């Protein structure tokens, strides 16, 4: 039997709990260690998920030579710091989205992974789902012809609380960084599949949005992306308005995949 990957969780928030629950059912990985900013929090998490190696600091967890891969789910602005430290510690890394809060930090993280020869992935679960693989297969077979229009929305209404992560500018709140990345990611994937590639970059981007008057984060926004071969994508996201969370694809054969 192949040995399971020994995971270390860096942070113990809600998404880390979801990841730990997933590891209970995993055939390839196991929860091996957890790191938190406080020993008690780490110990409580460890008891809940039957994890014996519990560290009261992130650095201590990264120093554990038996940890093979690390899942980083700190607040957005801390992703770059801890990913780079994990890479230097020789750990393979899964980083919660967004991988970085700007292009500079994201590139620094990629460079660190290359330099230290470790695997780095941004945690967009849908990219690993069989349904997504089937979608790409259908697009490559041109079942709706050439892709013409992509509509992608991920938006919800979070009750306003200036202390909440999603409304806090210092914590990189707002819809674009929280869930807007999904719409961008899948539109690039769909456009790429239509063009026979793994992904495509838009040749033009335009957008409008509304900033919250108190905290300044983007409450909701809409973007238009144009790709090669006359592919146009309409993307909508937000943390201040409920919308229909759906992806629609319209092709030259006048059909659609939903």
For the chain, list the domains and their CATH numbers.
Answer: 5-123 (3.40.50.720), 131-257 (3.30.360.10)
pLDDT along the chain (258 residues), means of 10: 90 96 95 98 97 97 98 97 98 97 97 98 95 96 96 97 94 96 98 96 98 97 98 98 97 75
Spatial separation of the C-alpha atoms in residues 21 and 31, rounded to whole Å: 9
List, for residues 189-247, the tens digit of each pLDDT value: 999 999 999 999 999 999 999 999 999 999 999 999 999 999 999 999 999 999 999 99
Spatial separation of the C-alpha atoms in residues 103 and 105, rounded to whole Å: 6
Spatial separation of the C-alpha atoms in residues 2 and 27, rounded to whole Å: 10
Spatial separation of the C-alpha atoms in residues 22 and 36, rounded to whole Å: 19
Paired with 225 in beta bridges are 205, 233
Spatial separation of the C-alpha atoms in residues 247 and 258, rounded to whole Å: 6
Tokens of 166: 């999603």
For residue 43, the 8-state DSSP code is H
Crossing angle of helices 39-49 and 14-25, rounded to 10°: 30
Spatial separation of the C-alpha atoms in residues 18 and 135, rounded to whole Å: 26
Spatial separation of the C-alpha atoms in residues 129 and 245, rounded to whole Å: 18
Residue 7: which of 118, 92, 129 has the closest Cα? Answer: 92
For residue 74, what pLDDT is reported?
97
Pairing of strands 231-238, 218-227: antiparallel
Compute the residue count for the chain: 258
For residue 2, what pLDDT is reported?
75
Contacts of 94 (CB under 8 A, 6+ apart): 69, 70, 71, 72, 121, 123
For residue 190, what pLDDT is reported?
98
Answer yes or no: pTM beyond 0.75.
yes
For residue 242, what pLDDT is reported?
97
Burial 140-179 (b: 16+ CB within 10 A, else e): eeeebeebbebbbbbbbebeeeeeebbbbeebbbbbbbbb
């Amino acid at each position: 039997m192949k040995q399971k990957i020994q995971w270390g969780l860096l942070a113990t928030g809600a998404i880390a709990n979801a990841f730990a629950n997933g590891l209970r059912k995993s055939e390839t990985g196991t929860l091996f260690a957890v790191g938190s900013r406080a020993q008690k929090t780490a110990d409580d998490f460890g008891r809940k998920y039957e994890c014996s190696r519990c560290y009261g600091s992130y650095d201590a967890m990264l120093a554990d030579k038996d940890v093979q891969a690390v899942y980083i789910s700190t607040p957005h602005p801390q992703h770059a710091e801890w990913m780079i430290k994990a890479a230097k510690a020789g750990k393979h890394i899964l980083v919660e989205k967004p991988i970085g809060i700007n292009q500079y930090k994201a590139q620094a993280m990629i460079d660190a992974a290359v330099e230290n020869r470790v695997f780095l992935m941004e945690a967009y679960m849908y990219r690993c789902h069989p349904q997504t693989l089937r979608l790409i297969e259908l697009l490559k077979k041109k079942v709706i012809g050439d892709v013409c229009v992509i509509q992608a929305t991920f938006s919800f209404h979070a009750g306003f609380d200036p202390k909440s992560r999603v409304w806090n500018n210092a914590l990189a709140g707002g819809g674009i960084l929280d869930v807007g990345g999904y719409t961008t990611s899948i539109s690039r994937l769909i456009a790429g599949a239509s063009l026979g590639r793994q992904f495509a970059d838009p040749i033009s981007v335009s957008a409008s949005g509304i900033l919250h008057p108190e905290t300044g984060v983007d409450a909701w926004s809409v973007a238009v992306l144009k790709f090669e071969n006359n592919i146009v994508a309409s993307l909508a996201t937000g943390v201040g308005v409920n919308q229909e969370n759906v992806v629609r694809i319209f092709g030259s054969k006048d059909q659609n995949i939903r």
